[in-house]
Amino acid sequence: MPVFPEEPEIHESLPGPGVPFPRESDAQALRAPATGSAPATAPTTVAAPAPVPGPRPAPPRPASPTAGRPGPQARPAPKPGPAPRRPAPTAPQIEVRRVAATPAEALERADEVVDQLLDAGRSPGEILVLTVGEAHPWQQHELSFGEERYWAQLAEGGDVFYADAALTRPARREVVVLVANGGPAARAAEAYTGALGHASVLLVVCGDAGPAAAGAAGAAPGRPVSA
């Protein structure tokens, strides 16, 4: 008996996407489950992966005990007090020195005082000689050239100036020598006050002039005077 070769099995294949089925019944047959076939497997649900434990959040810090408290209030600026009082300027202190002499000796003692002041380094323009009684011989000599020339020497201030104790013109020198060579006591007292106004550093009184002049302590004839 002749043997026939086996025919290959023909498997039906589903058409690919976009390829129409040859018949509508074929598409429905594919969608409908076959009778007696195994039930379709229910779709499995994939569980979501468990979250990986991370670091725990830090607990909130407690509020600072000073939080919410009112801050220190600014202190008001101190009120300015009264300005300190400045001491009133005091008048310059004039040193007073006395040389005891009688009215007849006063001119001679005054000339000695002037020489001592010049030897001590005083400039001639720093010395003023005032006489209470008769005018000094040098004053009489300068007046012989006229009053204009006489008063010009006072303004120039280059030499010792001799004048009457009642001098009213502005004249201020460092040293004044007051000569009490005569005249009433009242005039000598006024001359003492005026001489203080003309001196800026030193007043030398030759003779009895001014308060308590006669009994001045330490006064002696010919006492040297230095400045």
Would you mind telling me the total number of residues written for the chain in this entry? 227
Q: Answer whether 98's CB lies under 8 Å from 211's CB.
A: no
Helical H runs in the chain?
A: 24-31, 106-119, 137-143, 147-156, 185-198
pLDDT along the chain (227 residues), means of 10: 52 51 50 50 53 57 57 63 62 85 95 96 96 95 94 93 93 95 89 94 92 46 48
What token pair was written down for 30?
A: 């594919």
Distance separating alpha carbons of residues 166 and 131, to the nearest angstrom: 9
Task: Return the CATH class of domain 95-206.
Answer: alpha beta
What token pair was written down for 156?
A: 């120039």
Looking at this protein, which amino acid is placed at residue 136? H
Q: Answer whether 227's CB lies under 8 Å from 115's CB.
A: no
Which has the closest alpha carbon to 189: 198, 180, 197? Answer: 180
Element (H, E) at 199: strand 199-206
Q: Answer whether 163's CB lies under 8 Å from 110's CB.
A: no
Cα angle 41, 29, 10 (rounded to 5 degrees) comes to 95
Q: Answer whether 106's CB lies under 8 Å from 180's CB.
A: yes
pLDDT at 165: 94
What token pair was written down for 168?
A: 């009213």
pLDDT at 221: 43
pLDDT at 215: 43
**Residues facing 97 on adjacent strands:** 204
